[in-house]
Amino acid sequence: MSTFWRHTLISLLTAALAVRTSATSSKSACAQLAASFPEYTTVSGSASYTTKIDSVWSQTCVEDAYCVFEPESSKDVSTAIGILRKTKTKFAVRSGGHMPNPGANSISHGVLISLSRLNTLELTANHEVVHIGPGLRWYDVYTWLADYKLTTAGGRFGPVGVGGLLLGGGINYYGSKVGWSANNVVNFEVVLADGSIVQANASSNTDLYWALKGGSQNFGIVTRYDMKTFAIQNVWGGTLAYPATSLDAYIHAVANFSSPDGGSADPLAAADPLLLMYPNTSQIQPAAVLLYNAAIENPAALKAFIDIPAVSDSAAVRTFTNFAVEQNSSSYWDRSSRRSFWATAVKATPEAVYLANTTFIQAAMEQVSDLSDLLTSITYQTITEDWLDAARASGGDAIDLDPADGAFLVLLISNTWTNADHDDRIVSFSENVIAEIESKARAANVYYPFVNLNDAGPSQAPFKTYGKGQSLRKLKTIRKKYDPSGVFQTLSPGGFKLGA
């Protein structure tokens, strides 16, 4: 037998053995979980198994775990981590299942830990802090807090899960006053790799507290988030959709709002403008979700959007809960499609907005216009200097962006399609359009070196952009302290990892 064929055979046998070993350990872990938690463990083939596995926003994340474990307490999580560690079983952790990257909240031939039963909602005696379980979605949180005339700086869309958003930083409607959503967490309850349950806050495990604000699931499983609350009042807001003929006016409105001296300078104003496009038909749909955190009709800060004649317009003075209900519509819950996110950032200048818009439209028409099932979009998310000041004033975070570098826009390229045969094409398109925007932005001196983790594609490296590249080493040091054996790097392989 030649050396080539000998090495090939050894490689094949090694791979087969690894698969068999993985299957054996996973089945052993599932058997132990089922024995300890029969009501909380669902094995493959059970009546409810498919429903639990399919409970994700994107079909790209549907994978066949050997079993699904749904703990009801941090102690349950601790016991499960012990079983998974001892059996060397790979696992994934799911909060709301909104991240569309394969493996981020799903796993093949391992154990899926679904946090859906960890649904605590409690206020402290003075109502200044709310205890939130990671199994909740932001709609649940907002509607519950509304009974107390309170809210918190959580996600903008109801179906998004609590846990993933907070561990990735979190863009919210109040950022210019309170920073990232994670900056409003005063305490994390965490189950570490050794099974211990710890609290991370400004006085206890302070390094872990810093790391969890943007560091994702690299340190443990967070089983409770304690967040600051604040009084809620009536707001003005809603969703506006515009005709394609208004594209120029719409893009000018985006540029106007995002500029440091534009509408975003008003800390009460928030805008989530997105341009939707069907490349196959060249159909374009500009739209914007607008919110003003006061009961003021047609606020001046959002005038550029308001002045464009809309084909539909739900904006009005209303309760925040009513606004939140609108952002919890069935379109945000649809789980029948395949989806993907990719992100980059540019400085908050009109030139950067026009550059990104033109590049996106041209790339879509040139690269994916033959895909009849594709809906693609670009969203312009403004992060102000005040936002970054507030983040640092709260005690800082792993994201650690310098307010002195100015305001910027997080650009999200989002894709929705149905045909799995188109997966690779859409990945290539997404990577290409991001690369083109970044290349042109660098040439025009409007590039901002940041990748928002919650909007990032699977091949992107958000941690390298944190703190101008300085946060990653500190994150790795903290990871080694709290997870010295690398359980959350090797046994939980999905999502964004810090590495060795």
CATH of the domain at 39: 3.30.43.10
Query: Within this chain, do residues 427 and 319 fall inside the same structural domain, yes or no?
Result: yes
**For the chain, what is the domain count?**
3
pLDDT, one tens digit for every residue, the chain (500 residues): 555 455 544 453 444 434 445 577 788 999 999 999 999 999 998 889 999 998 899 999 999 999 999 999 999 999 999 999 999 999 999 999 999 999 999 999 999 999 999 999 999 999 999 999 999 999 999 999 999 999 999 999 999 999 999 999 999 999 999 999 999 999 999 999 999 999 999 999 999 999 999 999 999 999 999 999 999 999 999 999 999 999 999 999 999 999 999 999 999 999 999 999 999 999 999 999 999 999 999 999 999 999 999 999 999 999 999 998 888 876 677 889 999 999 999 999 999 999 999 999 999 999 999 999 999 999 999 999 999 999 999 999 999 999 999 999 999 999 999 999 999 999 999 999 999 999 999 999 999 999 999 999 999 999 999 999 999 999 999 999 999 999 999 999 999 999 87
Does residue 449 share a domain with residue 304? yes
> Are 271 and 394 members of one domain?
yes
Residue 181 and residue 307 in one domain? no
Q: Letter for the amino acid at 170?
A: G
Q: Which stretches within 368-495 are classed as H helix?
A: 385-393, 423-443, 471-482, 487-490
- Joined together, the tokens standing for residue 329 give 């519509």
Half-sphere exposure for 360 (CA within 13 Å, toward CB) = 27
333 within some domain:
yes
pLDDT at 7: 53
Position 2 in a domain: no
Amino acid at 256: N
366 and 430 inside one domain: yes
pTM over 0.85? The answer is yes
Tokens 């394609």, residue? 244
User: Which has the closest alpha carbon to 272: 311, 305, 318?
Assistant: 305
**212 occurs within a structural domain:** yes
Do both 128 and 60 map to the same domain? no
CATH number of the domain within which 214 lies: 3.30.465.10
Are 304 and 405 found together in one domain?
yes
**Is 9 among the domain residues?**
no
Q: What is the domain range of residue 131? A: 121-232+469-483
What's the Cα-to-Cα distance from 397 to each of 112, 148, 185, rounded to whole Å? 29, 29, 11
Contact 284, 276 (CB under 8 A): yes
Question: HSE on the CB side for 30, CA within 13 Å?
Answer: 22
Same domain, 95 and 225: no
Query: Are both 127 and 224 inside the same structural domain?
Result: yes
Residue 275, token pair as written in the block: 């341009």
